[in-house]
Structure 1
Amino acid sequence: MCVLALAWRAHPRWRLVVAANRDEFHARATAPLAPWPEGGVIAGRDLVAGGTWLAVTRTGGFAALTNLRGFGGPDPAKASRGALVVDLAMGAAGDAAAVNPFNAVAIRGGVATFLTNRPRVASHALAPGVHAMSNGPLDPPWPKTQRLASLIAAWLETPDADEDVLFEGLRDRSPPVEAWGDRLPPTAAGGDPVAIFVDDPVYGTRCSTLVLVDAAGRGTIVERRYDANGAFVGDDRYDFAWPGA
């Protein structure tokens, strides 16, 4: 149930702003955000399959992926979706057809692209602006994606707002019922009845990540991690620089 919102060339000060939560089984082994030896990648690492869910590179790359539901359970025989994230961030095409259902956003060479492999492999350029995705279509009218997109849009227009405002929004445990009246959105129709921050001792929000890249290409990636009780357990921060404008 991961969720991500990003502002791509949506403000004169910022080239890219990303706010994302990774939701996963707490028992799944994971390494924290760190530079990788390959390709200038900076990312957390899934120690089970070896890939990641969100990555930046020091050479101008970014990629993030969410699982896509509504197409049955994952096929364990398929390749790791996490490896595809690394490929996309490094500028490689990857084999989208060979992995389980996903949505992804990739940035390389100053071009942003949305990719999916359901109902078929497809991609299109991502227009400048604020976008959000979770486990359904890009920019769906789901309460939590709308809430997170609105948070980033408001943050962009607040000159002195700091990153803690975004992290606080990523900790939002409010159930989205109020946006749907007295009923939850039906899963069959693509609705998502889950809060931005999933507070569950088995499968919940493992970390929140911000990526901030200003108009000059100066960037920062920050990861805050949480335990099975939803308590903060540590964070890491790395600076990088992207070439060009």
Structure 2
Amino acid sequence: MCLIAWNWQPHSATPLLLLANRDEFYARPALPLHWWAPDANGAQILAGKDVQGGGTWLGLSRTGRLAALTNFRSAEPQRTNTPSRGELVAGFLHSDLPAHAYLQQLARHCADYNPFNLLVFDGQQLMGLESRGAKVLHHTPGLGAVSNADFHTPWPKLTQLQNGLAAQPPASGAAGLRHYLPLLQDRSLVPDAALPNTGVPLELERVLSAVFIATPGYGTRACSVLALHQDHAEFLEQSLGPQGLLGEIEERFALQRAEFT
């Protein structure tokens, strides 16, 4: 997952609305959005699955727990002997720990993984973890976003998606969550003068500057829109490949217990 924007309004009819794009190599196998088999405690999560690592980039539990992950971009090569970062998302969704406790526990082990940002919501708190400094963040209500740098780093595509979410009227009628998909599908490139400097070659920095990435071997593999309401959740995901749309799945379900107050 490489770009996430959200609007957290705790006391509204829709406490949390989240938009996200997952960017990955097309050759890395993945399963689209589906209900995973219940774990030993009977907990069940709705998420895509990274077949290679066994984890996921974005998911939601039946009780309204949410987690999402981005990597941290730098010129340093990724270590090949580390656990999959996707297991951190699944781990939170299967856990019953409060967000703060889960992240504090995980912060002690950040060095075991390649750099990442983890966003979690336990029904009460929206929090984040920046692994490079083992920094736990309490997000305040309102708009927020993260890409492949620290939370809220104002990369042009992050600012564009966050501002687009702010300007978009709430979804209604038959369009539902699909109303927000155009925000995730913008392929506009950023002028060179506005590009971040992450240590990768300029040509690569250019193609990665778009909200929606499309190159021959790497690109946006999933566009997701997720809404947590007071008593139910909605999750829409489009799966994509090098030739375009592969499929679309939309799930709507009642939350199993009251998570919002």
| TM-score, scaled to structure 1 | 0.88
Query: Structure 1 stretch 164-173 or stretch 83-92: which is displaced more?
Result: 83-92
Q: Determine if the alignment matches structure 1 residue 57 to structure 2 residue 61.
A: yes
Look up the equivalent residue of 1:98 and give its one-letter code.
D
CA displacement 1:178-197 (0-9 Å, x = unmatched): xxxx6242414899641000
Comparing 192-201 with 23-32, which one deviates more in the overlay? Answer: 192-201
Q: Is the 8 A contact 1:151 1:166 kept in 2?
A: no
Q: From 219, 236, 239, give the equivalent of 1:222.
A: 236
Q: 1:41 aligns with which of 36, 42, 45?
A: 45
Encode CA deviations 1:91-117: one digit per residue, 9 max, x unaligned. Answer: 353443321100111011411111111
- Determine if the alignment matches structure 1 residue 204 to structure 2 residue 214: no
Matched, 1:175 2:189: yes
Residue of structure 2 in register with 1:185 after alignment: 195
Deviation at 1:159, TM superposition (A): 6.0
- Equivalents in 2 of 1:104, 1:137: separation in Å? 10
User: Is the Cα contact below 8 Å between 1:15 and 1:217 reproduced in 2?
Assistant: no
**Residue of structure 1 in register with 2:32 after alignment:** 32
3-state SS in 1 of match to 2:210:
coil
**How many equivalent residue pairs?**
238
Once the two structures are TM-superposed, the CA of residue 70 in structure 1 deviates from its matched residue by 2.6
Within a 5 Å distance, the mapping from 1:116-155 to structure 2 comes to 116-118=130-132, 120-155=133-168
C-alpha spacing 1:208/1:5, structure 2 compared with 1 (3 Å): same
Note the C-alpha offset of 1:13: 2.8
| Shift in alpha-carbon separation, 1:200–1:124, aligned structure 2, 3 A | same
* Residues 1:240 and 1:209: Cα distance change in structure 2 (over 3 Å): same
Residues 162, 150 of structure 1: CA spacing in aligned structure 2 closer, same or farther, 3 A cutoff?
A: farther
> How far does residue 10 in structure 1 lie from its aligned partner after superposition?
6.6
User: In the aligned structure 2, how far is the partner of 1:11 from the partner of 1:203?
Assistant: 39
Q: Any unmatched runs of 5+ in structure 1?
A: none
Report the more deviating stretch, 63-72 or 86-95. Answer: 86-95
Post-superposition offset of 1:28: 0.7
Alignment deviations for residues 173-214 of structure 1 (CA, whole Å, 9 cap, x no partner): 01122xxxx624241489964100001120101110111112
Matched, 1:73 2:77: yes
Matched, 1:238 2:251: yes
How many Å apart are 1:128 and its aligned residue?
A: 0.6
* CA shift for structure 1 position 158: 6.7
Q: What is the distance in 1 between the residues matched to 2:35 and 2:170?
A: 31
Please tell me the residue identity of whatever aligns with 1:134.
S
User: Residues of 1 paired with 2:63 and 2:210: CA distance?
Assistant: 34
| Change in 2 beyond 3 A, CA 1:156/1:110 | farther
- The alignment status of 1:101 with 2:115, answered yes or no, reads yes
For residues 156 and 126 of structure 1, the distance between their equivalents in structure 2, rounded to whole angstroms, comes to 23
Contact residue 42 and residue 55 of structure 1 kept, 8 A: yes
Q: Is contact 2:27–2:217 with CA below 8 Å preserved after alignment?
A: yes
- The TM-score with structure 2 as length reference comes to 0.83
Structure in which a larger fraction of residues adopt helix: 2
